[in-house]
């Protein structure tokens, strides 16, 4: 199906046009072109989605990319049910965020550059989800990392932004180190069995040739890559800093799409991960730990975007919990709903920051409700959704994960308990944010207050669409005791019914759901009491609260620990090698040999005329003498 | 046989020399004419190399366009040249980089005539070394190259140019002396066996030597090549030479000269002494991997951008060596590809550093910052080349690195895993440099007056950038033409081991 190639190529073409001619086109045309390209991709994706049969697969092969010996990889795209979901998220939400950016970046002199990067990102993200081999996925994987780096450091004149960009790229590369080794191990081990391939369909056919320990090693290495890209323990540290980028970037790349690539990768290779129970157990443990740990940090943050960043880390943890218990469909479902409400929250925060003239500190906000009703109401809906209020999208997808964590063959009550506690914390910190930003009296300085305004329609309309999605996107995956899941029908064939989790009693499922509602309600109630009721005190951040509060506020000092444990020793060693070892030892020996030769021979010294011609003459004479000697021998 | 009944390759070697001779007749004051003539000569050489490329049969792994003229018949020394899928692209790289390097030499004001003559003679020397198939002829070209390079560094270089030039020449010569002894010994051994005195490489390939002799000869060749590469720990001449060399000198040095070392391994040391090469492979893999990591770690701390790029070359050529000594088709194809990549991306880096040096008269990272604001085009190109250098998929560097890692992983997974850390380290030192040079506030007054790249400079960089993208997106036309020759080389290595040894061949014959 040759239509497929246009889905990624249109944004790439727009990127190229704006790169070379953007300055001549002007900000407005360049922005519109960028939006039109992604919009067209979305339209094609939608068309392909309609045509796609239940268990079918479309493929579009362009050419042989890389062939060496028996190893061969094509540039080839595929769309199955899983990719179709990702396509709609990337192009659909990507389109809305492009539109929003027209308004948000309107006053920025770098707007053309912004859209060049953004289109390039969409291209690489589409390559990632459409590539029909693991290597092509990896190309997209690295490419989105590049765009993330460029966009985090978009406002490059501030050192903090570019430091955050470097951190993101390098931490991701550390993860990719594992990813690359995983690919190499996979391809060489299968190669030993006679199959030099990274094509997903071929891999699925032949993975049973691999020994269990090999599969465990491969999946562990690939998961290292996922912890980088999807910000899981221990490589999550880059994502909160990545908020230095413009807010639409945070919404698109660092919430809705790129950071979910790790989840997509594991789901795409479900047939491999399913064979590695040890890896799955580790993924579940790391996912749950990350979800919990990030939520405890989010409780005390005062920067509006940082709260959302830690909440993203936490929600990604939920997705990996689902992956770890073998519920790939549930993971992708949460990825899907999360894309709506988290994009809505980020864009809403962007609208707030825009209105506040760049202020991101929630302690200086408050009372924005009346100034920006559209932003407020969409924010309320998205907050309810992420907290898991009944009948919102988050309610369905999070509950499914909790239920799978409890009932799946790989699940346990311990996993459920931690995920359940995390749900309560999520409700608390999100409503704390809602109250601090929109309710109570305004704490902004008079100058900022005078400029408060609702954002233009080009920004609020995308918010409204996303708010609608924050409710209804979840209805596709309702549990059996309500109206049943269309989601399972859709993705079931891809995952081969690997997750038959409904062996628990329906009554248990309902009871657990009610328990979750209780803790969510408790979280919301507590947030209201502390921050929402009239006359509540404002969270002042530093200097208040006990030791736990300070640990949370300082993010467990993870950055500082990494700095002392890794960065400083590495820098010290590097410094010593460069300025002591290389100069004094290695080059010292070289110069020493030269000096020694000079000192030892007085004849040599006599020949030291400093005249290069003399040296060359001597050299030639010696050569000829040697030649004559050898050739003269019988 | 074409013009003057000379072969295509001979003409390729002759055009730069003809250019150099013609330069002698141009008055030294007319620098414009001198530059134009040199540029013309190197451009014609490039066009002629495209004709060679066109004549080349990519499906044939044997030597092509062979030319044989007896030179010193008494000693069995011949003028024997030819080209195969291994040397083809290295020749093209040389002919491409030379006009660009000359075009980048506009800022040379002193003794322009001599400078350009040396550049053209250097080109012939390098091309000759790539196409020579007579061992003695190869040695002559190998040494001839040193002379113009010595003067380019020693006369047109920076403050410590004499020290750097002498170090470069003496270090390289010291290494190649043993090679000369080994070459002569090889020829005499061949004469003993067959009663034919010859330095013909293609015939000497057939010579089967006992393991001990192979080992001595292998190390004599290997030492000379290892210094040239440079393989850790023989690398310390390189940072000195690069820092002192003029821009074009650095471009040619990094872009082409270093490749002669790795090419030497692939053309001579490995196939001539296969048993010794196989036995020594673990040692060379280890040194290569140490070099990858060491070069990267040391590069990180450099304060001079040129020195940083020089140490990054140590790291990148470590990858090439790793691929070569994987001794399978992926590793060697990746290694050749990586030689081309390094020539392009490091060549471009030196060009860019030279362009900013011409304006700012500094190469210290600390003297820059925030350049994107002032010179966006320069900054964007520097960024693009950086990502080529650190192997971003979609650009050329990734193809080479991935094939090398793939080839090496099936032979020695643990060393390969160590080598793969180079991918992380590369990002660290390059992006740190980028951050300090083009990002941040533009607060140094000297930098606020910089002007962006001019038309000539864009013309220099455009073809390199186009190739960086093309070779990343569509590598197959390159790899296809290399493959038959690589297979043939591997066959030479493993023919000696006719007894089946369990060694992954990575499907080379499939």
How much is the pLDDT for A235?
Answer: 93
Report the number of secondary-structure helices (H) and strands (E) in chain B: 22, 2
**Quick check: B185 and A68 CB within 8 A?**
no
CB A299 within 8 A of CB A550: no
Question: Does A609 have pLDDT greater than 80?
Answer: no
- How far, in Å, CA of B473 to CA of B310, rounded? 27
What DSSP string runs through A579-611? IIIIIIIIHHHHHHHHHHHHHH-HHHHHH--S-
Cβ of residue A620 closer than 8 Å to a chain B Cβ? no
- How far, in Å, CA of B218 to CA of A308, rounded? 62
Distance from CA of A73 to the nearest CA of B (A): 11
How much is the pLDDT for A52?
Answer: 87
Strands B77-83 and B64-72: antiparallel
Cβ of residue B483 closer than 8 Å to a chain A Cβ? yes
- H or E stretch covering B83: strand B77-83
Please name which of A453, A438, A274, A412 lies closest in space to residue A345, comparing C-alpha atoms: A438
Q: How many CB atoms lie within 10 A of CB A624?
A: 10
Give residue-wise pLDDT tens across range A426-437.
999 999 999 999
Q: Residue for token digits 């470590």?
A: B318
Q: Count of CB contacts below 8 A, A vs B? A: 167
Residue A450 domain flag: yes
Q: Does A578 share its domain with A526? A: no
Q: Measure CB to CB from residue A162 to each of B421, B427, B439 and give the nearest one.
A: B439
Distance from CA of B63 to the nearest CA of A (A): 21
CB contact set of B48 (below 8 Å; sequence gap of 6+): B8, B11, B12, B15, B95
- How far, in Å, CA of A332 to CA of A85, rounded? 8
Q: Does A440 share its domain with A523? A: yes
How much is the pLDDT for B80?
Answer: 93
Q: Does A311 share its domain with A435? A: yes
Chain B residues close to A196, C-beta within 8 Å? 506-507
Average pLDDT, integer, range A27-44: 95
Of A526, A553, A580, which closes a domain? A553
Question: Residue A52 is encoded by which pair of tokens?
Answer: 């796609």
- How far, in Å, CA of A4 to CA of A47, rounded? 10
Q: Does A513 share its domain with A589? A: no
**Quick check: B236 and A177 CB within 8 A?**
no
Chain A interface, best mutation among B235, B424, B471, B472, by max A CB count within 10 A: B424
In this structure, of A63-77, A372-386, A544-558, B6-20, the range with the lowest mean pLDDT score is A544-558
Chain B residues close to A579, C-beta within 8 Å? 301
Residue A186 domain flag: no
Minimum CA–CA partner of B74 in chain A: A631
Give residue-wise pLDDT tens across range B183-208.
999 999 999 989 899 999 999 998 88
What's the whole-number average pLDDT of chain A? 89
DSSP state, residue B25: T
Task: Give domain limits for chain B.
Answer: 3-509
**Helical pair B146-156 and B161-194, crossing angle rounded to 10 deg:** 180
With vertex at residue B139, the alpha carbon angle to CA B138 and CA B145, rounded to the nearest 5 degrees, is 90
- Report how far Cα A592 is from the mean position of its chain's Cα atoms: 52
Specify whether the backbone of A75 is left (phi greater than 0), alpha (psi in -120 to 50) or beta. Answer: beta
**Quick check: B392 and A575 CB within 8 A?**
no
Query: What's the number of domains chain A is made of?
Result: 2
How much is the pLDDT for B499?
Answer: 42
Question: Does A541 have pLDDT greater than 60?
Answer: no
Residue A449 domain flag: yes
Average pLDDT, integer, range A83-91: 94
Query: pLDDT tens digits, chain B, 510 residues: what are they?
Result: 444 457 899 999 999 999 999 999 999 889 999 999 999 999 999 999 999 999 999 999 999 999 999 888 888 899 999 999 999 999 999 999 999 999 999 888 889 999 999 999 999 999 999 999 999 999 999 998 999 999 999 999 888 888 988 888 888 888 888 999 999 999 999 999 898 999 999 999 988 899 999 999 999 999 999 999 999 889 999 999 998 999 999 999 999 999 999 999 999 999 999 999 999 999 999 999 999 999 999 999 999 999 999 999 999 999 999 999 999 999 999 999 999 999 999 999 999 999 999 999 999 999 999 999 999 999 999 999 999 999 999 999 999 999 999 999 999 999 999 999 998 999 999 999 999 999 999 989 999 989 999 999 999 999 999 999 999 999 999 999 999 999 999 998 888 665 444 444 444 443
Residue A9 domain flag: no
Q: Measure CB to CB from residue B298 to each of A135, A158, A582 and give the nearest one.
A: A582
Sign for the pseudo-dihedral over CA of B20, B25, B28, B29: negative
Task: List B residues 427-466 in contact with A (Cβ-Cβ < 8 A).
Answer: 427-428, 431-432, 435, 438-442
Q: Does A541 share its domain with A574? A: no
- Report how far Cα B390 is from the mean position of its chain's Cα atoms: 18
pLDDT-derived band at A633 (thresholds 50, 70, 90) equals: low
Q: Does A534 share its domain with A442? A: yes
Residue B505 burial (CB < 10 Å; 0-12/13-18/19+)?
Answer: middle
Cβ of residue A597 closer than 8 Å to a chain B Cβ? no
Domain carrying residue A486: 299-553
Q: Does A481 share its domain with A608? A: no
Residue A570 domain flag: yes
How far, in Å, are A437, A520, B104 from residue A431 at the CA level?
10, 11, 62
Q: Does A545 share its domain with A607? A: no
CB B106 within 8 A of CB B359: no
ipTM: 0.92
In this structure, of A47-56, A101-110, A235-244, A623-632, the range with the lowest mean pLDDT score is A623-632
CB A246 within 8 A of CB A105: yes
How much is the pLDDT for A598?
Answer: 67
- How far, in Å, CA of A124 to CA of A120, rounded? 6
**Quick check: B435 and A162 CB within 8 A?**
yes
Residue A323 domain flag: yes
- Report how far Cα A477 is from the mean position of its chain's Cα atoms: 24
- Report how far Cα B187 is from the mean position of its chain's Cα atoms: 27
How much is the pLDDT for A539?
Answer: 66
Q: Does A547 share its domain with A566? A: no
Percent of chain A with pLDDT over 90: 65
Q: Does A515 share its domain with A570? A: no
How much is the pLDDT for B1?
Answer: 41
Q: Does A607 share its domain with A534? A: no
Count of residues for chain B? 510
With vertex at residue A43, the alpha carbon angle to CA A37 and CA A44, rounded to the nearest 5 degrees, is 90
Task: List A residues 138-167 in contact with B (Cβ-Cβ < 8 A).
Answer: 138-139, 142-143, 146, 149, 153, 156-159, 162-163, 165-166
Rg (CA), chain A: 29
Report the number of secondary-structure helices (H) and strands (E) in chain A: 29, 2
How much is the pLDDT for A502?
Answer: 54
Q: Measure CB to CB from residue B476 to each of A64, A71, A612 and give the nearest one.
A: A64
Question: Residue B265 is encoded by which pair of tokens?
Answer: 């391994």
Question: Residue B66 is encoded by which pair of tokens?
Answer: 């062979």
Question: Residue B388 is encoded by which pair of tokens?
Answer: 């080529």
Distance from CA of B69 to the nearest CA of A (A): 21
């Amino acid at each position: 199906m040759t239509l497929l190639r246009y889905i990624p190529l249109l944004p790439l073409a727009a990127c190229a046009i704006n790169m070379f001619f953007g300055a001549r086109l002007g900000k407005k045309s360049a922005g519109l072109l960028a939006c039109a390209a992604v919009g067209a991709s979305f339209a094609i994706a939608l068309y392909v989605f309609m045509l796609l049969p239940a268990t079918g697969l479309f493929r579009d092969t362009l050419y042989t990319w890389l062939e060496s010996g028996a190893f061969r990889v094509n540039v080839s795209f595929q769309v199955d049910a899983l990719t179709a979901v990702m396509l709609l998220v990337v192009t659909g939400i990507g389109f809305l965020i492009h539109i929003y950016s027209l308004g948000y970046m309107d006053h920025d002199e770098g707007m053309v550059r912004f859209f060049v990067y953004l289109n390039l990102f969409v291209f690489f993200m589409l390559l990632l989800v459409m590539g029909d081999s693991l290597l092509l996925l990896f190309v997209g994987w690295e490419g989105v990392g590049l765009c993330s780096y460029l966009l985090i450091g978009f406002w490059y004149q501030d050192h903090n932004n570019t430091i955050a960009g470097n951190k993101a790229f390098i931490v991701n590369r550390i993860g990719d180190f594992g990813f690359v080794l995983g690919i190499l191990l996979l391809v060489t081990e299968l190669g030993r069995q006679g199959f030099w391939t990274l094509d997903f369909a071929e891999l699925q056919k032949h993975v049973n040739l691999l020994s269990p320990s090999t599969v465990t090693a491969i999946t562990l290495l690939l998961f290292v890559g996922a912890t980088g890209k999807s910000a899981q323990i221990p490589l999550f540290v880059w994502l909160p800093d990545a908020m230095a980028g413009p807010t639409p970037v945070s919404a698109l790349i660092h919430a809705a799409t790129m950071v979910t690539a790790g989840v997509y990768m594991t789901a795409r290779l479900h047939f491999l991960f399913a064979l590695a129970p040890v890896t799955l157990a580790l993924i579940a443990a790391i996912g749950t730990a990350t979800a919990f740990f990030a939520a405890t940090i989010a409780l005390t943050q005062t920067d509006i975007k940082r709260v959302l960043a830690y909440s993203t880390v936490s929600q990604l943890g939920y997705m990996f919990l689902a992956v770890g218990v073998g519920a790939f469909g549930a993971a992708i479902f949460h990825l899907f709903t999360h894309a709506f409400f988290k994009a809505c929250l980020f864009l809403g925060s962007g609208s707030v920051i825009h209105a506040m003239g760049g202020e991101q500190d929630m302690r200086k906000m408050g009372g924005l409700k009346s100034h920006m009703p559209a932003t407020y109401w969409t924010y309320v809906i998205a907050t309810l959704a992420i907290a898991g209020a009944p009948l919102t999208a988050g309610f369905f997808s999070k509950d499914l994960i909790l239920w799978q964590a409890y009932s799946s063959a790989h699940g346990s009550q311990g996993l459920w308990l931690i995920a359940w506690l995390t749900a309560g914390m999520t409700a608390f910190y999100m409503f704390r944010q809602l109250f601090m930003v929109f309710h109570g009296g305004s704490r902004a300085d008079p100058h900022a207050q005078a400029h408060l305004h609702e954002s233009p329609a080009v920004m609020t309309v995308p918010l409204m669409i996303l708010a609608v999605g924050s409710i209804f996107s979840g209805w596709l995956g309702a549990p059996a005791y309500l109206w049943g899941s269309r989601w399972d029908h859709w993705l079931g064939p891809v995952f081969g019914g690997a997750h038959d989790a409904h062996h628990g009693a329906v009554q248990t499922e309902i009871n657990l759901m009610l328990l979750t509602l209780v803790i969510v309600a408790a979280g919301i109630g507590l947030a209201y009491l502390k921050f929402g009721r009239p006359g509540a005190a404002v969270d002042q951040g530093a200097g208040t609260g006990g030791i736990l509060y300070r640990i949370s506020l300082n993010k467990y000092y993870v950055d500082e620990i990494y700095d002392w444990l890794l960065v400083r020793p590495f820098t010290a060693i590097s410094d010593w090698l460069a300025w002591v070892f290389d100069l004094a030892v290695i080059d010292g020996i070289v110069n020493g040999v030269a000096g020694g030769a000079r000192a030892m021979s007085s004849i040599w010294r006599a020949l030291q005329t400093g005249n290069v011609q003399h040296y060359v003459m001597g050299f030639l004479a010696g050569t000829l003498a040697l030649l004559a000697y050898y050739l003269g021998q019988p | 046989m074409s013009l003057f009944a000379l072969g295509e390759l001979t003409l390729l070697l002759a055009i730069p020399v003809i250019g150099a001779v013609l330069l002698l007749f141009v008055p030294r004051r007319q620098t414009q004419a001198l530059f134009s003539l040199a540029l013309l000569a190197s451009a014609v050489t490039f066009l002629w190399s495209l004709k060679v490329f066109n004549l080349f049969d990519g499906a044939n792994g044997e030597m092509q366009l062979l030319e044989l003229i007896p030179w010193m018949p008494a000693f069995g020394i011949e003028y024997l040249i030819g080209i195969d899928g291994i040397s083809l692209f290295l020749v093209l790289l040389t002919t491409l980089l030379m006009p660009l390097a000359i075009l980048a030499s506009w800022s040379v004001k002193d003794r322009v005539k001599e400078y350009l003559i040396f550049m053209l003679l250097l080109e012939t020397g390098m091309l000759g070394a790539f196409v020579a198939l007579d061992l003695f002829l190869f040695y002559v070209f190998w040494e001839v190259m040193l002379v113009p390079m010595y003067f380019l560094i020693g006369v047109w270089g920076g403050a410590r140019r004499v020290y750097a030039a002498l170090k470069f020449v003496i270090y390289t010569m010291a290494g190649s002396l043993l090679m000369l002894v080994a070459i002569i010994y090889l020829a005499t051994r061949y004469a003993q066996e067959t009663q034919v005195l010859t330095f013909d490489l293609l015939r000497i390939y057939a010579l089967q030597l006992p393991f001990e002799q192979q080992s001595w000869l292998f190390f004599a060749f290997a030492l000379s090549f290892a210094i040239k590469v440079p393989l850790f720990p023989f690398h310390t001449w390189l940072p000195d030479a690069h820092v002192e060399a003029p821009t074009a000198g650095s471009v040619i040095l990094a872009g082409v000269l270093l490749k002669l070392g790795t090419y030497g391994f692939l053309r001579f040391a490995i196939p001539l002494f296969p048993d010794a090469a196989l036995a020594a492979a673990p040692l060379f893999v280890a040194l290569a991997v140490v070099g990858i990591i060491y070069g990267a770690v040391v590069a990180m701390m450099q304060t001079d951008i040129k020195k940083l790029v020089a140490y990054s070359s140590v790291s990148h050529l470590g990858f090439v060596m790793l691929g070569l000594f994987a001794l399978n088709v992926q590793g060697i194809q990746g290694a050749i590809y990586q030689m081309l990549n390094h020539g392009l991306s490091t060549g471009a880096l030196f060009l860019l550093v030279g362009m900013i040096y011409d304006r700012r008269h500094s190469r210290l990272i600390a003297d820059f910052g925030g350049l994107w604001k002032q010179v966006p085009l320069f900054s964007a190109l520097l960024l693009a080349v950086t990502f080529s250098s650190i192997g971003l998929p979609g650009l050329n560097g990734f193809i080479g690195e991935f094939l090398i890692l793939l080839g090496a992983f099936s032979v020695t997974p643990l060393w390969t895993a160590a080598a793969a850390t180079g991918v992380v380290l590369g990002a660290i030192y390059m992006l740190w440099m980028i951050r300090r040079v083009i990002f941040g506030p533009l607060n140094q007054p000297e930098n606020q007056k910089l002007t962006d790249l001019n038309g000539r400079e864009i013309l220099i960089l455009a073809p390199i950038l186009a190739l960086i993208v093309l070779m990343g997106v569509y590598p197959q036309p390159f790899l296809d033409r290399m493959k038959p020759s690589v297979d043939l080389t591997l066959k030479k290595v493993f023919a000696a081991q006719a007894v089946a040894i369990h060694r992954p061949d990575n499907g080379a014959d499939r």
